[in-house]
């Protein structure tokens, strides 16, 4: 390929062509995959309250410490799944229910999506339904009260003088409880175990 190395115009055209080909196969072809735009069977749009909560999540930069994507790795599907104790307490069966890896159809109502890149704290893609609302309220008011030694900041400005949650705190919790519920994985996992 001496001609490419000696003629600058040919080199530029050659490099541009390669870059275009790369873009086409890594971006354009995957974007044509229709399954990216199909909501999962259980997916529902956010309610007004949940959308407000999402705005607060973005505004507070929760995404700098939390991702929203469970990867297809055993360490993650186990870590973000439902532990034996939790399944037993709630459903009366002793089994570890793994969290399903994230699917494109779960994100169709996320604009913008908040996948995140850093995990200073745990992933939140499957946090909906893990705790009750009062746990979240206490955790946001004072993370150390529910999680000793936590380095998560306290979001005290979402609470009034008497420590009662403001509307924004309630919206944020509603949003957190919605995360991961576009797949009914807890119910499905328990049903699978019971049918065995």
Give the footprint of ligand HEC on this chain (CB under 6 A).
57, 60-62, 64-66, 120-122, 124, 127, 130, 143, 147, 150-153, 155, 172, 176
Alpha helices in the chain (DSSP H): 2-6, 8-23, 29-31, 48-59, 74-79, 84-91, 133-141, 143-146, 167-178, 185-195
d(CA 95, CA 86): 9
Q: Which is nearer to ligand HEC, 30 or 153 (CB)?
A: 153
**Beta carbon of residue 140, minimum distance to ligand HEC (angstroms, whole number):** 7
Encode 68-92 in three state secondary structure: CCCCCCHHHHHHCCECHHHHHHHHC
Q: Which is nearer to ligand HEC, 83 or 153 (CB)?
A: 153
Q: Which is nearer to ligand HEC, 33 or 85 (CB)?
A: 85
Q: Which is nearer to ligand HEC, 115 or 152 (CB)?
A: 152
**Beta carbon of residue 19, minimum distance to ligand HEC (angstroms, whole number):** 37
Residue nearest to ligand HEC (CB): 121
Query: How many Cα atoms within 13 Å fall on the side-chain side of residue 153?
Result: 10
**Beta carbon of residue 60, minimum distance to ligand HEC (angstroms, whole number):** 4
Structural tokens at position 102: 């994230």
Q: Environment class of residue 78 by beta-carbon count within 10 Å: exposed (0-12), middle (13-18) or buried (19+)?
A: middle
**Beta carbon of residue 120, minimum distance to ligand HEC (angstroms, whole number):** 4
**Beta carbon of residue 90, minimum distance to ligand HEC (angstroms, whole number):** 16
């Amino acid at each position: 390929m001496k001609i490419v190395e000696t003629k600058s115009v040919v080199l530029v055209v050659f490099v541009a062509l390669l870059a275009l080909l790369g873009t086409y196969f890594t971006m354009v072809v995957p974007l044509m995959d229709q399954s990216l735009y199909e909501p999962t069977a259980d997916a529902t749009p956010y309610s007004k309250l949940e959308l407000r909560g999402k705005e607060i999540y973005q505004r507070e930069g929760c995404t700098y410490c939390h991702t929203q994507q469970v990867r297809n790795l055993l360490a993650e599907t186990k870590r973000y799944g439902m532990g034996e104790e939790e399944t037993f307490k709630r459903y009366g069966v002793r089994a570890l229910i793994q969290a399903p890896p994230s699917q494109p159809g779960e994100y169709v109502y996320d604009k913008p999506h908040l996948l995140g890149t850093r995990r200073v704290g745990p992933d939140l893609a499957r946090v909906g339904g893990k705790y009750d609302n009062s746990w979240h309220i206490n955790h946001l008011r004072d993370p150390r009260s529910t999680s000793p030694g936590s380095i998560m900041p306290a979001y005290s400005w979402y609470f009034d003088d008497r420590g009662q949650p403001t509307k924004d705190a309630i919206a944020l919790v509603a949003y957190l409880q919605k995360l991961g519920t576009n797949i009914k994985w807890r119910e499905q996992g328990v049903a699978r175990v019971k049918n065995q």
